Structure 1
């Protein structure tokens, strides 16, 4: 699979973590920040696992998990934006949308 995509996902995850460090760690944000970091890091981890999949079925399964996790990541980002209503979320939301489309395409064509 495309090493460029793996690097793109890696950078996205790093940017999510760096971004979360800038957020107010209030009681309200604590759960969302934790969920966002968990889902974002899972996107990358499952994509990496897919690259070393033991079979085509294993590859497809890990890509599907990555897709689910990027969808969840997008959800948490949209919640944070709705709470904060700041444009600082737009770049991360846009990248999560693009990754969602790419992983969705990989998932649908790997059948």
Structure 2
């Protein structure tokens, strides 16, 4: 299945998910951090999964439920990113991670 390139939200979120995957790879290989990075990976990729599922919702209620889950996951990833930065696993101002904090 091909990514819907006409839906800006899906495209931007896919790019964000790729940043999350790359950050997870960095954390596990360079920093040897596995617990927080796994949580980051789960919440960061779950956003897009739920946004995509919402596109095939069978009802308005189903659509709202999927979008609500995506919203909650977006809030959760903010928590994990801040925790990783405050525990000094990542630097929120470095070139490598600044984009993910902005997104």
TM range (shorter): 0.7 to 0.9
The runs of 5 or more residues in structure 2 that have no matched partner are 1-5
Match of 1:33 among 17, 33, 37: 37
Aligned partners of 1:90 and 1:13: how far apart in 2?
Answer: 15
Distance apart, 1:94 and its partner CA: 2.0
Structure 2 match to 1:81: 85
Structure 1 match to 2:100: 92
The runs of 5 or more residues in structure 1 that have no matched partner are 96-111
Aligned length: 92
Distance apart, 1:25 and its partner CA: 4.5
Q: How far does the alpha carbon of each residue in 1:28-62 deviate from its partner, in whole angstroms, 9 at most, with x for none?
A: x3110000000111100000000110000000000
The RMSD of aligned alpha carbons is: 1.5
Structure 2 match to 1:103: none
Q: TM-score, normalised by structure 1?
A: 0.76
Q: How far does the alpha carbon of each residue in 1:52-74 deviate from its partner, in whole angstroms, 9 at most, with x for none?
A: 10000000000000000011111
Structure richer in helix, relative to its length = 1
